[in-house]
Amino acid sequence: MDLKDRISAVEWQGISLGESNTSIKVAEGPAGAAVALVAGFPVGGGVDRLVRARVEAAIAPMPLASFECSARITPHAPQPPLTPSSRIRNIVAIGSGKGGVGKSTTAVNLALALAADGARVGVLDADVYGPSIPTMLGLSGKPESPDGKSIQPLQAHGIEAMSIGLLVEHDTPMIWRGPMATQAMTQLLDQTLWGGEAGLDYLVVDLPPGTGDIQLTLAQKIPVAGALVVTTPQEVATMDARKALRMFEKVKMTVLGLVENMAVHVCSNCGHEEHVFGQGGGERMASQYGVPLLGSLPLELAIREQGDIGVPVVVSAPESPAALAYRDTARAVAARLAARPKAPRPIAASMLG
């Protein structure tokens, strides 16, 4: 096996570099190998150093004379017959079969984790009946419209955000039927000026809980490169999560994997670990349906507290075990997405670079 093949076989988050849309250039010289990678996933936040260590081990005993690592996030194929948005390279939908599993908290922290690794990221709050993204990101005030037709997304902690909660009063109930809610969400997606001239690498869409008319219609109208299903370990939650997974499959949407939230609680006083909502539910579901379990996230007081004050734990305590769990999960999501087939890019999108 030559050097390039050995580097191509290097794994990152369970996906080989050769599978993950990574360009590999290798030149051998008297001082060793000069390696240049252009990865299909974000490489900031220390990812480049971790990949370098794996490449160095793969080519040993030949020395690594030089190493360059950058990223180019390309659009990946959404569910047919839809095509990617001109402003957004990849839309990642996050759903659950029921409420109360921490889906919105997961969506926000994963978006922030992707941004921490150098990606251009936005989050769309698609829950018109219970929008929570503005609170979790500490956002207030209404978005501006430069032309009376389009909307400027708000910025928080290095990511962009849009929510129906930013357009109505905080305590105003949205008494809408399904078609009205669907129209509102598609307008928020299409009329928001996501990413400016550079566009977004990822838009995380926090879907409403459940699998009803609104969820199906949104799934059919939004070009999604990949979906995640959030569950907790308990059996009643995984029963509902199975319905969300089946919903994504029925609309030909690729399920990147499962995220198990509230997997374990560690006592802040004694360090005792307790599985409050049971153990192994996510693993069993992943095995049954043939999808990967991309992360197990803790049940921790700081996650709730920081979300309530608008400074999520990935931002407020980036080196905490909870934040590192979110970052590892986000990296697994990006790697799985990078391994998916590319989408043909429209002319408008190709101008974004």
pLDDT tens digits, 177-230: 667 777 778 888 889 999 998 999 999 999 887 766 667 776 777 899 999 999
The residue with greater pLDDT, 237 or 196, is 196
Mean pLDDT of the chain: 88
The per-residue pLDDT for 186 is 82
Could you count the other beta carbons within 10 Å of the beta carbon of residue 5?
A: 12
Whether 345 has a pLDDT exceeding 60, the answer reads: no
Please, what CATH class does the domain formed by 3-71 belong to?
alpha beta
Read off the pLDDT band of 272 (50, 70, 90).
low
Which 3-state string (H, E, C) describes the chain?
CCHHHHHHCCEECCEECCCCCCEEEEEEECCEEEEEEEECCCCCCCHHHHHHHHHHHHHCCCCEEEEEEEECCCCECCCCCCCCCCCEEEEEEEECCCCCCCHHHHHHHHHHHHHHCCCCEEEEECCCCCCCHHHHHCCCCCCCCCCCCCECCEEECCEEEEEHHHCCCCCCCCCCCHHHHHHHHHHHHHHECCCCCCCEEEEEEECCCCCCHHHHHHHHHCCCCEEEEEECCCHHHHHHHHHHHHHHHHCCCCEEEEEECCCCEECCCCCCEECCCCCCHHHHHHHHHCCCEEEECCCCHHHHHHHHCCCCHHHHCCCCHHHHHHHHHHHHHHHHHHCCCECCCCHHHHCCC
- Confidence band of 329 (pLDDT split at 50, 70, 90): very high
**pLDDT value of position 175:** 60
Asked if pLDDT for residue 277 goes beyond 80, the answer is: no
- pLDDT of 177 reads 63
Q: Is 349 a residue whose pLDDT tops 50? A: no
pLDDT band at 162 (very low <50, low <70, confident <90, very high): very high
pTM (two decimals)? 0.92
Q: Report pLDDT digits (tens) over 31-88.
A: 999 999 999 999 999 999 999 999 999 999 999 999 999 999 999 999 988 889 889 9
Q: What pLDDT sits at residue 214?
A: 66
β-pairing, 32-39 vs 23-29, is antiparallel
Name the CATH topology of 88-350: Rossmann fold (3.40.50)
Report the alpha-carbon distance of residue 84 to residue 347 in Å, rounded: 11
Range 9-15 average pLDDT: 96
* 130-148 tens-digit pLDDT: 688 999 999 988 899 888 8
- What pLDDT sits at residue 127? 80
C-alpha 199/C-alpha 189 separation (Å) is 13
Measure the CA–CA gap between 82 and 322, rounded to whole angstroms. 36
So what's the pLDDT on residue 280?
Answer: 73
pLDDT at 353 over 60: no
Confidence class of residue 89 from pLDDT cuts 50, 70 and 90?
very high
Domain ranges of the chain: 3-71, 88-350
Calpha distance 46→204 (Å, rounded): 22
113, 201 in Cβ contact below 8 A? no
